[in-house]
Chains A and B, each alone.
Chain A
């Protein structure tokens, strides 16, 4: 009962706050219009926090949070939902300010820029790894359990971009300086475990690499202190909007931070490789018995390297997206988009419909698929609360916000985006 009250109250609040204002909001100006002249450019300030995944449902996360016994009735659906043999969780938290100044005198070009911060994380694992952890290796005889591709990475990025925007076409190009304040990476590029059909021999190989992008100083007392080890990169960002003069369609390509990060030397690196095969050997503990070795049925290959990285170049977590909008009437719009990058393991597809009951409010719903997650919903609302200002609220997988409630059990993520937009002024 409490769940329904929560949903109702939240939805009601959201709609009330939007619907009390009226008519909509046309933010996008026809790029081919030569009659529109801006005195002040547009701007926006966004805050977001998103998380999505394809395997770990909120119900499962609730179970982990609540504790108790995790039975196969809980685990089986999770295992079956591993698509392509992989499970993913990822997301980001951040803010961004985007602005455009007045056009230069006698020109349709205006100075534009953006700045913001973002924390990104990406976790992925193989279904075999999940199965070994939660089920054990009881049913794994005669097959190879693959660990390759498992890994986790996280990073905090700050960015500042400056460029030019054509007031006439709204085409925009920025050069961005990106700072990676810190980060961590760990991955298993190659690894497997094999247990023979008769459970009489076992072979394993693990190659794993970890990097901590921070400076570690050992003090005289022997206690290391961790500090920032920022690295800097350079990229380009931009927008390429295209609109038909005759048809109510728009197409827009966006790219953000396409470039390279010049990673400083000094990141802590650990590289570990371990392999063994045996025809009968305890897996755990101090297991290399003299008997196993003397029988000659054991082969080990172990290597651990630690140290500091040298300078290197890596790719920035760039984002590339394309969006198609169809507005058959003033009241409705249809939208489709595809987005890649940003450490997402797969392309993120979305399609949705928007309803514009007045010139002050617009509501929409989308279906999304890909990125880190599977099929999920998103709702959005836009409210013009002053002549030139719009509040945009977007909620992805809204039911996923209700942690520990049964209604959220079948969701795989959640996300909230708040954006304040200032429309370019017209003369």
Chain B
């Protein structure tokens, strides 16, 4: 036992020999390979993808502008103003004396014709039928009769889902000199208005029926006195026509439209070669009525378009509808680039805006359809400018300026470099200027420049340039920003396929020293 104890003591003594020594901080190097930026600069940076049609087999890409004129819509529809039909039924003079009201039996039953007369703002337009996408009817009754009345108001020629539209109303009895009042609203969305009248050959006519009954809820017999009156109001509110059939009148509708033409192309000192370019204006008519277009002025950046035939009158035949189904629409195409036009001279200046003034006339030949014009609001006429420009251009200057943010990074005792790889297939020489602006107090700037030779998108030949900026802990820790500027110049117009791109890759490589106390 003593020997065991002795062994343990000696082991402890031995452990003392293995005592700790003075320790210096632990440190080691790690290699850092950090991708920061991978950006692909293509024509999309200058031209929206939707405008660019790529050229295949070395053919030039084409810029396709299809510019709709949204303002050319809706005004051609007949409108239905808010309508108030008010009827005051006074018994004074109509009754010889007070009469008891029979309960449960009609004592007022009145059918009227309502004639719409305000379609088309003074034109001779008339409608046979129309449907609503929105709108409602409100019935309000104020009664001095001292008994409960059951009232109903029906639009006989208006149906919703095949059911006649109408409102039933229970009007309370007047009490102590206070008239009874009731009101009710009916949604008319989807309602179909038949305006052909009871004989079926009229126009703009709608029939209605108004009935009044002494309510069986009355517990006592009440009297209709010679001083009683009933004020009935029917309101048609916010009626929005979805489809209409009839004659829409000979209406002139002015249009005044301005659209942005080219606002994204940031090409320095561009020179366009417009050989093979085309420009046309297309009008599609979806209305079952003739249209007459008249352009008063078309300008690009306030420069007037000159054209030998454009400013004349252009008639467009009506669209062909059968049973509310579109069979064919009609189109008119105007060539804006025909001989005598200066449109390509205007386009060469890369105009920003295009303005157009003129008017459109409905039914220029009168009521030739004998009341069978037809419109559907879901099919407005379309006016579209289409420009097709081949991407053959010259340029001279800075084609791209981009700033990439480098976040602060904790790389102790960093020794490395910032690598900027540029890979280009643009068929022009590109000069790259790189500035790394350090987020330190002095705003230290490290600059470097390099050239990338002309490449080719078809056949694809990439040219590569590598720019190296030395970095240390002082320049990498605070982070900064990498300013990339690419400059290019061509001799005259160069054909671009649209597939050209410059790939910018920025990464950090180097070693850092990690220390642990």
Q: Is A305 an interface residue (CB 8 A)?
A: no
Q: In the complex, identify which listed stretch (A133-141, A181-189, A329-337) lies at the interface while the others stay far away.
A: A133-141
Query: From residue B316, how far is it (CB to closest CB) to chain A in Å?
Result: 43
Chain B positions 489 through 515: 1 when the CB is less than 8 Å from some CB of chain A, otherwise 0: 000000000000000011101011000
Q: Is A361 an interface residue (CB 8 A)?
A: no
Q: State whether B34 touches A282 (Cβ < 8 A).
A: yes
* Distance of A262 Cα from B17 Cα, bound (Å): 47
Contacts of A68 in B (CB 8 A): 24-27
The residue on B at minimum CB distance from A283 is B34
Among A59-94, those with CB < 8 Å from B are: 64-71, 75
Q: When the two chains form the complex, which single residue of A17, A282, A283 contacts B3, counting CB atoms closer than 8 Å?
A: A17
Q: When the two chains form the complex, which single residue of B14, B21, B35 contacts A199, counting CB atoms closer than 8 Å?
A: B35
Q: State whether B23 touches A280 (Cβ < 8 A).
A: no
Q: State whether A134 touches B39 (Cβ < 8 A).
A: no
Q: State whether B7 touches A282 (Cβ < 8 A).
A: no
Q: State whether B35 touches A285 (Cβ < 8 A).
A: no
Among B23-37, those with CB < 8 Å from A are: 23-37
Contacts of B479 in A (CB 8 A): 285
Q: Is B256 an interface residue (CB 8 A)?
A: no
Q: When the two chains form the complex, which single residue of A67, A198, A279, A286 contacts B407, counting CB atoms closer than 8 Å?
A: A286
Q: State whether B26 touches A70 (Cβ < 8 A).
A: yes
Contacts of A135 in B (CB 8 A): 30-31
A68-B26, A70-B28, A136-B511 known; A285+B408 contact, CB < 8 A: yes
Q: State whether A13 touches B6 (Cβ < 8 A).
A: yes
Q: State whether B17 touches A134 (Cβ < 8 A).
A: no
* Distance of A418 Cα from B106 Cα, bound (Å): 115
Q: When the two chains form the complex, which single residue of B4, B10, B409 contacts A9, counting CB atoms closer than 8 Å?
A: B10
Contact count band on A: 35 or more
Query: From residue B317, how far is it (CB to closest CB) to chain A in Å?
Result: 47
Q: State whether B4 touches A282 (Cβ < 8 A).
A: no
A10-B11, A199-B33, A202-B35 known; A284+B6 contact, CB < 8 A: no
Q: State whether A403 touches B36 (Cβ < 8 A).
A: no
Chain B positions 96 through 136: 1 when the CB is less than 8 Å from some CB of chain A, otherwise 0: 00000000000000000000000000000000000000000
Q: Is A44 an interface residue (CB 8 A)?
A: no
* Distance of A357 Cα from B408 Cα, bound (Å): 71
A136-B30, A286-B407 known; A280+B38 contact, CB < 8 A: yes
Q: Is A201 an interface residue (CB 8 A)?
A: yes
Q: State whether A285 touches B32 (Cβ < 8 A).
A: no
Q: State whether A385 touches B1 (Cβ < 8 A).
A: yes
Q: When the two chains form the complex, which single residue of B4, B20, B21, B33 contacts A137, counting CB atoms closer than 8 Å?
A: B33
Q: Is B410 an interface residue (CB 8 A)?
A: yes
Residues of B within 8 A of A (CB): 1, 3-4, 6-7, 10-11, 14, 17-18, 20-21, 23-39, 404-410, 479, 505-507, 509, 511-512
Q: List 18 A-B contacts (CB under 8 A).
A: A2-B17, A10-B10, A14-B7, A67-B27, A68-B24, A71-B28, A71-B29, A133-B30, A137-B33, A138-B33, A195-B35, A201-B38, A202-B35, A281-B36, A282-B409, A283-B34, A285-B479, A291-B405
